[in-house]
Chains A and B, each alone.
Chain A
Amino acid sequence: MSEPTTSEPTTIDRDREPASGTPATTAVARPVRARPRWTRLVLSRDAGVFYALVAVIIYAYTQVPYFASTQTVGFLLLDIIPILLIAMPMALVIITGEIDLSVASTVGLTSAIMGVLFAAGVPIALVFVICLALGIVLGAFNGLLVTVLGLPSLAVTIGTLALYRGFALVVIGDNAIANFPPELTSFATSKIGATGIPVVMVVVLAVAVFFGVLLHLTPFGRSLFALGYSTEAASFVGIKVARAKFWLFVSTGFISSLVGIFWTLRYSSARSDNATGIELAVIAAVLLGGVSIFGGKGSIPGVVCGVLLIGTINYTLRLARVSDVVLSIVTGALLVASVITPSIVDWARARTHARRAAAHTPQKAPAS
């Protein structure tokens, strides 16, 4: 960054605009301040989640027995990989003001189909291809209902949440299929050397980078933010709103089926109830990571930190032998806090402004 951001004027006195021939609209100018870019970055919502993550890790590292080990890294990451993967496309979906609740059921259905096909003797490579194609189809079905029929995604994906899980039961029943090739199941849990980092993290990193670049650095990403705030304004600049949303639902379906494959191999078990309920963990992590449930706001680095934060807290509490009930309360409280925080910050800002105004005598507007 070569630009001298710190030397920029941080405020502009709107009452002292050069007399350029236009009457200054001083009276209604809102009290806005422009901070230099780096200040804003350091103070941003994403940074807040990052600081919390670092604080939790430092605390756990120094205070919780057994946390400081490569095993911790391995188990923690293996546990959060499904959440982290699905959170990437989910962040984009929520930024456009939609939601996809069917992801966990897609994981379950993929797992069921994978088990049945493998048991029937289909070559494992072909099984993978079919599973991934299935994810695309399931996502496309959601996308079509939302974009072509214009149904609310909340209702559509609550429906497919039940529907896809139902299909899974039909396909595999109460059976569990195990005996997957051992080289594949051990690959799913294998670590990079002595670091404790699962090899699969390479794929996860690639997915995160892909969605991060897509959201933050491409024209498509720019249009997602715009349509998240206002589909109408977006369509007036030629953004194809329906098409964009459709592809996002396809992407959640695809990544969910990828997670379905990983889940099945990691636990070496194809069951209809695999990953039940993780959609809520995904959405909680995405919101905690700073994505606005109203659309328009959010970032991939923030979401990654959000997932890691929830994962680390859960893991630490479990290490400290805290019961599952408390775990669930902590996660819930964090989520509520993350949704409320922006409002509290706004309120606090308004208060500070009011105080400052009371301290100074108000500038008189020119009366004539």
Chain B
Amino acid sequence: MVTNTATAGIRPVLELHHAVKTFGPVVALADGTIEVRPGEIHALVGENGAGKSTLIKVLAGVHQPDSGDFRLNGEPVAFRSPADSKAAGVSVIYQEPTLFPDLTVAENIFIGRQPRGRGGMISRQAMRAQARELFSTLGVPIDPDRIAEGLSIADQQIIEIAKAISLDARVLIMDEPTAALSGVEVERLFGVARSLRDGGAGILFISHRFDEVFGLSDRITVMRDGAFIATHDTTSVTIDRIVREMVGRDISALFPKAEATIGDTVLEVSGLGRAGVFHDVSFTVRAGEIVGLAGLVGAGRTEVARAIFGIDRYDAGSVTLGGAPLKPHDPQASIAAGIGLVPEDRRKQGLVMELSVTRNATLTLRSSLARFGIIDGGRERRTGADWSSRLQVKTASPDLPVSTLSGGNQQKVVLAKWLATDPTLLIVDEPTRGIDVGTKAEVHRLISDLAVRGIAVLMISSELPEVLGMADRVLVMREGRLTATIDRADATAESVMFAATHTTGSAA
């Protein structure tokens, strides 16, 4: 923990030492320790469940720690509510900001503390002028008069940041700010973060993406199992070391791709198009093959998957599965034909969170579990139990709501319910998003096993290492078009990123 950056020796603006937070018998935070100095960008990393979010909620005043030492500018503080922490200059930007959709941008920034004019009335001019000033400080052109509804998540975050600055925030905390942003938006956010740092603010951000952590931060703090592990200067540490500290062991095979025999064409998509969304998309996926679909967020990858599976309509082209045309816009028919789709949003699309593990795991099988129209309850339980144990889903009981499981185990339930249908083609959309490193490897092994068993896999992923590690072939989309098809041998981070960001030609 040697420090040699420009900010070394400066008194931290925010210090938390040995904070403990328990919920009933569960220790969410065993040793919450972090120091944020003014004028630094500090990254907080750790597996899911390492206690990062709890730590941030303690800093934000959402949770009150059971014990520990919390100081701002050297003064002990105890926040009883988020309002307390805001007033003290600690602002938190959550992954998905919650603006009032019907109010204007300026009104959102100054909600509850609108500048007053004559007679105590709200002065719209003053509000507008101040908002404009904030945006010009941030160097981001957003119209203060527009209604918040329909703003991109990136713009919403900028508005939250503007709000924080207007509140005179000295510490800005961002919880996975880039998870839903495209490359350009990420760059813009980083620009803003750097300029705030240069203005003397302390910035703490959580990220799962190492390129961001290393590209942006000055220091990195690692957490594991609810406890502080170490803080490093970014320049003097390697990714390997951080990963080791995060998981507490070496991960030798993050992407254990096994060799599979590649067979006949299973899925053939030709000239698929949907006005304004994607155009002229043609590709094939063969049995035993894992095809990666890479590209920036918003390139149209998920939309193509949804159209193939039948959630959305398409208005040009055709889809065939095993040589037979697939009925458009009919997920039930797609499932019957042998397609499974693991959607990108596990909580909203992949699972019915309130239903039990068993019910979720067998939801795709509804009809086949029935005899003469009546579901065989015993068979339902056995099937659910069988698939959860095959995928090693960790739960106290299969009758518990799936919402009580960890993110990784939830994803295994999603996989289980599709594997139970015995698909010939499995489409997985961001299969490891928000999953801790250990379970990630398990999911990768599962997908690899499927390919070995002859299932065709179409894998959408925004994580380059995942695409490069898993895919036999990488398709790249950019702005609704397929811009490149790259074989495993030629696929590198550079070639994929080039195709994802440049207009013409194949990078292969």
Contacts and interface: CB of A to CB of B under 8 A. Distances in A.
Among B66, B249, B373, find the residue whose CB has the most chain A CB atoms closer than 10 A.
Answer: B373
Contact of A234 (B28, B248, B352): B352
Nearest to A217: B374
B396 A32 contact: yes
B348 interface: yes
A229 B229 CA distance: 40
A25 B341 contact: no
Nearest to A219: B366
Nearest to A352: B24
Contacts of B373: 218-219
B438 A213 contact: no
A237 B353 contact: no
A25 B47 contact: yes
A218 B229 contact: no
A26 B399 contact: no
Given A22-B439, A27-B27, A362-B27, A225 B359 contact: yes
A229 B54 CA distance: 28
Contacts of A25: 47-49, 406, 408, 436
Given A25-B408, A218-B373, A368-B229, A233 B352 contact: yes
B408 A236 contact: no
B90 interface: no
23 contacts: A14-B394, A23-B436, A25-B436, A26-B225, A26-B226, A27-B26, A29-B49, A29-B406, A217-B374, A219-B367, A219-B369, A222-B375, A223-B366, A225-B355, A230-B348, A233-B349, A238-B331, A238-B332, A238-B335, A238-B364, A357-B25, A362-B27, A367-B227
Q: Which of B24, B227, B404 has the largest count of A CB atoms less than 10 A from its CB?
A: B24
B30 interface: yes
B36 to A, nearest CB: 22
Nearest to A226: B352
Nearest to B50: A27
Contacts of A225: 352, 355, 359
Nearest to B369: A219
Interface of A: 8, 11-12, 14, 17, 20-23, 25-34, 37, 40, 213, 217-219, 221-223, 225-226, 229-230, 232-240, 296-297, 353-354, 356-357, 360, 362-368
A234 B351 CA distance: 8
A33 B396 contact: yes
A362 B353 CA distance: 29
A365 B334 contact: no
Contacts of A32: 396, 400, 404
Contacts of B366: 219, 222-223
A23 B248 contact: yes
Contacts of B352: 225-226, 229-230, 233-234, 296
B406 A28 contact: yes
A90 B79 CA distance: 48
Contacts of A213: 374
B354 interface: yes
B396 to A, nearest CB: 4
10 nearest A-B pairs in the assembled complex, by CB-CB distance: A34-B397, A25-B49, A219-B366, A238-B332, A27-B226, A365-B30, A353-B24, A28-B49, A238-B331, A12-B396
B363 A222 contact: yes
Contacts of B54: 27-28
A34 B366 CA distance: 25
B225 A22 contact: no
B450 to A, nearest CB: 19
Given A213-B374, A222-B359, A27 B397 contact: no
Contacts of A240: 332
Given A217-B375, A222-B375, A362-B22, A23 B311 contact: no
A156 B286 CA distance: 49
Give the secondary structure class of B's interface. mixed
A20 B392 contact: yes
A356 B25 contact: yes
Contacts of B334: 238
A28 B29 CA distance: 9
A34 B30 CA distance: 26
Q: How large is the interface on B (under 10, 10 to 19, 20 to 34, 35 or more residues)?
A: 35 or more
A362 to B, nearest CB: 5
Contacts of A229: 352-355
A240 B249 CA distance: 46
B370 A218 contact: yes
Interface string B463-497: 00000000000000000000000000000000000
Nearest to A234: B352
Contact of B331 (A12, A29, A235, A360): A235
B18 to A, nearest CB: 10
A363 B22 CA distance: 9
Nearest to A227: B352
A237 B397 CA distance: 23
A238 B418 CA distance: 12
Interface string B220-248: 00001111010000000000000000011
Interface in B145-194: none
Interface in B367-408: 367, 369-370, 373-375, 377, 392, 394, 396-397, 399-400, 404, 406, 408
A4 to B, nearest CB: 14
B374 A365 contact: no
Contacts of A14: 394, 396
B350 A236 contact: yes
B280 interface: no
B404 A30 contact: yes
A155 to B, nearest CB: 20
A217 to B, nearest CB: 5
B394 A23 contact: no
Interface string B325-367: 0000001111100000101000011111111000100011011
A31 B27 CA distance: 10
A366 to B, nearest CB: 6
A365 B227 contact: yes
